[in-house]
Amino acid sequence: MYRFFVEKEQIDREEKKVCIKGTDVNHIKNVLRMRAGEKILISTGEDLEYTCGIVEMTQEEILAEIIEIQEADRELPSKIYLFQGLPKSDKMELIIQKAVELGIFQIIPVETKRCVVKLDEKKEASKRKRWQGIAESAAKQSKRMVIPEIHSVMKFSQAIEYAGQLDIRLIPYELAENMDHTRKMLEKIQPGQSIGIFIGPEGGFTQEEIETALEHQVEPITLGKRILRTETAGMTILSILMYLLEEREVSGGETERK
């Protein structure tokens, strides 16, 4: 079933009705060509998921009837923030799409010293709107319960300060060594902790940026002996974290039941 996101006020639980508005109306009617009676999934960004049947379609809205309300635990047990150095061309679109599929909570585009891409206010607004649309589409496809936010572009110093609120802060760095240190750092992460991941653009971080990160307790880690592209590095660490967090969540729950 296809998933769509609505605001809380668009759901009337007493009347068992959902009103879908905005761009999803055209998508449902003219792109997916759905008809009355077909089932869809509705989420408000919380833990509840609504199975609904389409009842009526007009030019402005689609009315659906709530058939079933169920809990859907599809989110990671930790909020992961990806601080992504602005890459060239359309790589950011791929990064956003895959990061959302892997469970990211928020993506912060970061302007670093080696970024080739520079966005003025107008270009940033246009890019961010498109990026947010990609995040929404990926969230629907992967049946996420929330749509991850694409934050406005930050300078590196601003991103470091923003990450100060997080429990864990990691920066994969091509000159970092000692895989055992990386393993121990990842093993310490527990479900519920917030995690920030810093990924450099093409060309990586400068030594000055790494030193700034170290001064703010951002831990450098290695992702192996090979140099990974900017669009690969983030997906690598996110995949590892997704596995570890969900495995620990399951094993923790089993321990509690014993």
How many angstroms separate the CA atoms of 111 and 105, rounded? 20
Confidence of residue 252 (pLDDT cuts 50, 70, 90): low
pTM: 0.85
* Positive or negative: CA dihedral 28, 33, 38, 39: negative
* Positive or negative: CA dihedral 158, 234, 242, 222: negative
Strand pairing report for 219-221 and 3-5: unpaired
In the three-class reduction of DSSP (H, G, I as helix; E, B as strand; rest coil), residue 49 is classed as: strand
How many angstroms separate the CA atoms of 210 and 193, rounded? 23
Give, in order, the Cα–Cα distances in Å from 204 to each of 77, 212, 227: 30, 14, 10
DSSP 31: I
Domains in the chain, CATH or no CATH each: 3-71 (2.40.240.20), 80-253 (3.40.1280.10)
| Numbers of helices and strands, H then E, in the chain | 7, 13
pLDDT cut 70: percent of the chain above it: 97
User: Could you report the per-residue pLDDT of 87-124, keeping only the tens digit for each?
Assistant: 998 999 999 999 999 999 999 999 999 998 888 888 99
Matching residue, tokens 């990026």? 131
Q: Are the C-beta atoms of 165 and 216 separated by less than 8 Å? A: no
Q: Are the C-beta atoms of 96 and 150 separated by less than 8 Å? A: yes
Q: Are the C-beta atoms of 122 and 81 separated by less than 8 Å? A: no
User: Could you report the per-residue pLDDT of 130-180, keeping only the tens digit for each?
Assistant: 999 999 999 999 999 999 999 999 999 999 999 999 999 999 987 777 888
Q: Are the C-beta atoms of 204 and 228 separated by less than 8 Å? A: no
Matching residue, tokens 């930790």? 78
